[in-house]
Amino acid sequence: MLTEKELLAQPSSEYMSDDQLAFFQSILVNKMKSINERIRDSKSSLQVERNSDVSDTASVEESRTLGLNIAQRDNQELARINKALTMIAEGEYGYCLDSGEEIGLKRLIAVPESLFSVESMRAIEAKQQHQRSGGMGSSF
């Protein structure tokens, strides 16, 4: 298997070669295992907290809410990882879902479940920000 240094040293003609796909598939599978373990651990800790003393109810509820928020983010990340693994299997990994352009090795190393190029992600985030702030304008 390639190392990160070897991956980055390859010529651009090798972009998403079998070796590169195997590199990213390994990272994604390991990341998925880690997240699944974290989800299992958080579920067991939430179950333990349910048996807490009544006087600790507020603290337990706050911890449970935090745990559920973390679990929700983990599940969203798992969905992106599963999508990336599907794209590897279909030969589409490494290319932006929006533009079809190469996402780039450095971005994929940093965030292997990336489905969009930096440019497309910025546009998506700007659109989401605009939609969130759309109803917050002043009415003079």
Phi, psi (degrees; rounded to nearest 5) at 95: -120, 135
CA distance 36 to 26: 15
Over 60: is that where the pLDDT of 113 sits? yes
Q: Indicate if the pLDDT at residue 107 is higher than 80.
A: yes
Per-residue pLDDT of 12-39, as tens digits, reads 999 999 999 999 999 999 999 999 998 8
Torsion sign across C-alpha atoms 46, 47, 52, 58:
positive
Task: Note the pLDDT of residue 138.
Answer: 45
In this model, does residue 70 exceed pLDDT 90? no
Burial class of residue 136 in the structure, from the number of CB atoms within 10 Å of its CB (0-12 exposed, 13-18 middle, 19+ buried): exposed
The Cα 115–Cα 98 span in angstroms is 9
Lowest mean pLDDT across 32-46, 72-86, 112-126 = 32-46
Where does the pLDDT of residue 44 fall: very low under 50, low under 70, confident under 90, or very high at 90 and above? Answer: low
pLDDT for res 54: 62
d(CA 33, CA 37): 6
Mean pLDDT for 65-90 is 91
